A and B are shown apart, each in its own frame.
Chain A
Amino acid sequence: MTDTTRGDVRLSGISKTYGSFTAVHPLDLTVPEGSFFALLGASGCGKTTTLRMIAGLEDPSSGTVHLGDQDVTALPPYKRPVNTVFQSYALFPHLSITENIAFGLRRRGIKSVKKQVDEMLELVQLGDHAHKRPHQLSGGQQQRVAVARALINHPKVLLLDEPLGALDLKLRRQMQLELKRIQTEVGITFVHVTHDQEEAMTMADQVAVMNAGRVEQLGSPADLYENPQTTFVANFLGTSNLITAEVADKGADTLVVKAGDAKLSLPTARTSADTRTGEKVLLGIRPEKIALTHADEAGTIAEGRNRITGRIAQSSFIGVSTQYVIDSPAGNGLEVYVQNVEADRRLAPGAEVVLHWNPEHSFGLDAAQDIDAGTEEEVAA
């Protein structure tokens, strides 16, 4: 494990085009050995194609795939030390669970498979179902068979293509933890393709956010969430308020920007756009980072916080929190999530309020981008 390049998956300049359509633009990506790596994006963003190129099910139009030191680009899938958990599992309907799991071992000419299959059934907790056919199992059980069928081969990398997509919400949560447990137990590199940002953030150590055939940003879930570098990432992972502002003053560590009648500060370190005074910038702030105070008590707000005045347009009670939509001169439709600790009854639609937050939580983005990229409406369209 000391030699870090030994088992890494390295994609260099890999791309895929179908006729005039480019599914994946030339892409460089390294997945460290033993990590749980997620490729996250909306459908059609190229994440599955990327996965299939690692598996060998798709020939890249350019570039190479390395597993450790070995160049596997030209190897067919059945010669690669990589296994896949397919979307909707692709379990062989004519074989029993045991034979499904033993399939890979048998193809490599291993005769005594019983012990290994039993161990695998144990790992995925399906010991009682060994002789059933796939259609006799529930969705969650089928999913675990698919994982077992791949893992029994001790692949260098396990590829998972939307493995939880066919399950209902509750089961999906359960399987997320289950997969994470298995990964920790076996220590194999997992590359996981998903369109569910919550799933990617819960499970993965590293997430690559893909959009339109390109990797938008790569990092740990917390890093991506706290410090998004594009509007797509800011909107696709959770919710962001993006306020169009103009740079008024540029200090060493802080930018001062103007939005409506408000002057807000923004840490330079958290600004991915290269801006000069007088230019536009997008100031981002997550809804849960904002505090809400009734306008009558504006004086109680501590000095040094960013503040915006506005009026509550909508409020909806969620249980743990209340979500407000606020119109302000700085921008309409700003979202604020307030924990239901000490509810202020005056905070109802129509109330005049002040939004305020620690300037350190602001992030700055290039204003030339589509401000709605990665929002739900935009992804659905």
Chain B
Amino acid sequence: MSAFIRWVRRNLVVIAGLLTLAFLILPNVVVMVFSFNKPKGKFNYAWQEFSTDAWSDPCGVADMCGSLSLSLQIALWSTLGATVLGTMIAFALARYRFKARGAVNSLIFLPMAMPEVVMAASLLTLFLNMGAQLGFWTILIAHIMFCLSFVVTAVKARVMSMDPRLEEAARDLYAGPVQTFVRVTLPIAAPGIAAGALLAFALSFDDFIITNFNAGSTVTFPMFVWGSAQRGTPVQINVIGTAMFAIAVICVLAGILVGNRRKKHA
């Protein structure tokens, strides 16, 4: 018994860490298990019996797949917008000295230090005052706005850590300004830009609070889930949640495998 206690004491950090990990994973396990449930009534909160009905008909719920495709569209467009605008800002901040740097940095930082509900509410007052029609465009505008700062942060870090001599070397080797940018700067900054874009996509796709305020009657996927929590949760929600989780994990693992193989063979 005392040996067991000693073992626990020595591995206390590992045990605590693994418990936290379990706490993090548990809801995903529940989501997955309940995607095979066949609930009685409208809510999928209690286990009844095993069934693959939902998996064989994932779009069998009215409007759900429509909201999913709308969310994907918005995520793609806002990723594109935020990545282009954010990369430009990041380059300006990392590469040039100019006046009002501090002010620009604060303007980039503030959206990340603001509770979403504040941004959501104030943006809504603007749209109401302008008499804008709430819907796809207002959602897109809002998403680009709050994704922008995250892209700037990711790209800036990468550009700042880049050796400025690389660009000098390119210019020294007969590459004009455009060629230097396309052949050297952009490829080296690419991992940072990709990281920023991925982050923007994930943030936009999963955003609820800002969308909730500025969507009007348009329904994105998180909005659909929110509504169904009131009206009744179809099992298909769990199917989509599980599928997205699986796709993400497979993509990441594949990426790691390809990366390892390239390292070995290069």
Contact = CB atoms under 8 A, between A and B. Distances in A.
Q: Do chains A and B touch in the complex (CB under 8 A)?
A: yes
Interface of A: 55-57, 76-79, 82-84, 86-88, 90-94, 103-104, 107-108, 131-133, 136, 149-150, 153
Given A86-B165, A88-B165, A90-B166, A149 B187 contact: no
A108 B171 contact: no
Contacts of B188: 92-94
B25 interface: no
B171 to A, nearest CB: 4
B163 interface: yes
B169 interface: yes
Interface string B198-222: 0000000000000000000000000
B266 A77 contact: no
A90 B173 contact: no
Contacts of B176: 76, 78
B76 to A, nearest CB: 26
A104 B163 contact: no
A136 B168 CA distance: 22
B116 interface: no
A149 B166 CA distance: 13
Contact of B172 (A77, A91, A108, A131): A77
A108 B174 contact: yes
Contacts of A57: 168, 171-172
B179 A107 contact: yes
A76 B171 contact: yes
A76 B172 CA distance: 9
A136 B266 contact: yes
A134 to B, nearest CB: 11
Given A86-B165, A87-B165, A93-B188, A153 B173 contact: yes
Interface in B37-86: none
A84 B172 CA distance: 7
Interface string B163-205: 1011011111111100100011001100000000000000000
Contacts of B165: 86-88, 90
A133 B171 CA distance: 21
Q: Which 9 A-B pairs have the closest CB atoms?
A: A90-B165, A104-B173, A107-B174, A90-B169, A77-B171, A94-B187, A107-B175, A84-B172, A78-B174
